[in-house]
Amino acid sequence: MSNQHPSLPEVIEADIRRATRLEYWTLFWLATIIGAMYLVTGSSQAMKTAWIEDCLSLVPPLLFILAAKIERRPPTRHFPYGFHRVGSLAFFGAACALLAMGAFLLFEACSALVTQEHPTIGTVAIFGERIWLGWLMIPTLAYSVIAPVILGRMKRPLARRINDKILHTDADMNAADWHTGLAGILGIAGIAFGYWWADSLAAGVISLSIVKDGWRNSRVAIAELLDGAPRAVDSTDISRDAERIAAGLGGGHPGIDVRVRETGRYMRAAVTAADRDTMGQEEAEAILGENAWRLIEVSVSVDAPQGAMREAKSMVDTQRKSGCDAVKGDGDQ
């Protein structure tokens, strides 16, 4: 049984719409934050790193909005399985961007420490008074974490309910922005007290956080694209839903092989058995309960070697029976 273009439960549809609205709000707030950060960045390595991280934060919400639109398109002749996997592709793109940029920023921070590059932060004239730019950087950094942290806390439960790794990645980035802001503030304060290395050290701490998230997400994204077992939204562990399907359809039934793979926010299961007398879509959906909407297809196939042996045995039995009937008929004559 196959359902290539599923109709989602109303509660899931509502959660996806709400998540989309949150992502549009995220883009708005990030635009104001990026503009404010750009005006006061100066030559501070920590500020540059925080600014680039904020620019990177645009990627997940944009990919989520794009994937949410494309994945609902009906199948075509060129894409007979539909476009559900666009979510996996978008997740992979976001993870790779995070990992690459985090590695680059970490290299820049380490280079500044090794070469002992002393940052120079100038002054700016405001109402006829010269003010050290660092004193403007600190409140700007504080402003840059308020909205993302609130939005991140709102997105995380939604990401779990709709099983969306892009949204969860975005929530992680938003919720972790206070680390970035705090590290940046400490770096600027360090410069004010004469600790030139505090700026680059803060940039390195921010970069390590980006690399960590990028590496974890890249592992999960690659596993999805390689048809690996579905992973949990918030870790590299196998999804509980996938384990329940495999155990429910295959448990207690020797000779049955159940394989589950991820297709964006959905899953597909392939069941190989000795014959057709096995469980399928309805049984699998009953196992998942309220998460049954995730199971887009259950395909059941007969194991060719066992099926061929069964058919050959049946033919031999038929021939033997026919031979015995023929011999019996001759004897009667």
Provide the pLDDT for residue 314: 52
- In percent, the amount of the chain with pLDDT more than 90 equals 13
Instruction: Give the CATH number, domain containing residue 270.
Output: 3.30.300
Do 184 and 284 belong to one domain? no
Q: Which band of pLDDT confidence, cut at 50, 70 and 90, is reported for residue 20?
A: very high
**pLDDT higher than 80, residue 287:** no
In a domain, 292, yes or no: yes
Q: What is the mean pLDDT of residues 5-10?
A: 74
Which one has a higher pLDDT value, 242 or 158?
158
In a domain, 232, yes or no: no
Predicted TM-score (pTM) of the model is 0.77
In a domain, 206, yes or no: yes
In a domain, 296, yes or no: yes
In a domain, 31, yes or no: yes
Do 180 and 273 belong to one domain? no
Do 141 and 246 belong to one domain? no
Which one has a higher pLDDT value, 118 or 182?
182
Q: What is the mean pLDDT of residues 299-314?
A: 57
Do 205 and 272 belong to one domain? no
**pLDDT higher than 90, residue 17:** yes
In a domain, 62, yes or no: yes
In contact, 173 and 213? CB cutoff 8 Å? yes
| 126: β partners | 129
Do 195 and 256 belong to one domain? no
Do 256 and 123 belong to one domain? no
Do 270 and 183 belong to one domain? no
In a domain, 311, yes or no: no
- In percent, the amount of the chain with pLDDT more than 70 equals 82
Do 46 and 107 belong to one domain? yes
Do 99 and 136 belong to one domain? yes
Q: How many domains does the chain have?
A: 2
**Domain-terminating residue out of 225, 251, 280:** 225
Q: What is the mean pLDDT of residues 262-280?
A: 74
Instruction: Give the CATH number, domain containing residue 194.
Output: 1.20.1510
Do 202 and 268 belong to one domain? no
Which one has a higher pLDDT value, 208 or 155?
155
Do 137 and 283 belong to one domain? no
Provide the pLDDT for residue 253: 63
User: Between helices 86-114 and 165-175, what is the axis angle to 10°?
Assistant: 30
186-201 per-position pLDDT tens digit: 878 887 787 878 777 8
198-251 per-position pLDDT tens digit: 777 877 887 887 788 888 888 888 888 888 888 888 778 888 888 888 887 776
Give exposure, 172-190, as e/b (b: 16+ Cβ within 10 Å): bbbbbbbebbbbbbbbbbb
Whole-number average pLDDT of the chain? 79
Q: What is the 3-state secondary structure (H, E, C) of the chain?
A: CECCCCCCCHHHHHHHHHHHHHHHHHHHHHHHHHHHHHHHCCCCHHHHHHHHHHHHCCHHHHHHHHHHHHCCCCCCCCCCCCCCCHHHHHHHHHHHHHHHHHHHHHHHHHHHHHCCCCCCCCEEEECCEEEECHHHHHHHHHHHHHHHHHHHHHHHHHHHHHCCHHHHHHHHHHHCHHHHHHHHHHHHHHHHCCCCHHHHHHHHHHHHHHHHHHHHHHHHHHHHHCCCCCECCCCCCECHHHHHHHHHHHCCCCCCEEEEEEECCEEEEEEEECCCCCCCHHHHHHHHHHHHHHEEEEEEEECHHHHHHHHHHHHHHHHHHHHHHHHHHHHHC
Rg (CA), the chain: 29
Domain extent for 120: 10-225
Do 206 and 255 belong to one domain? no
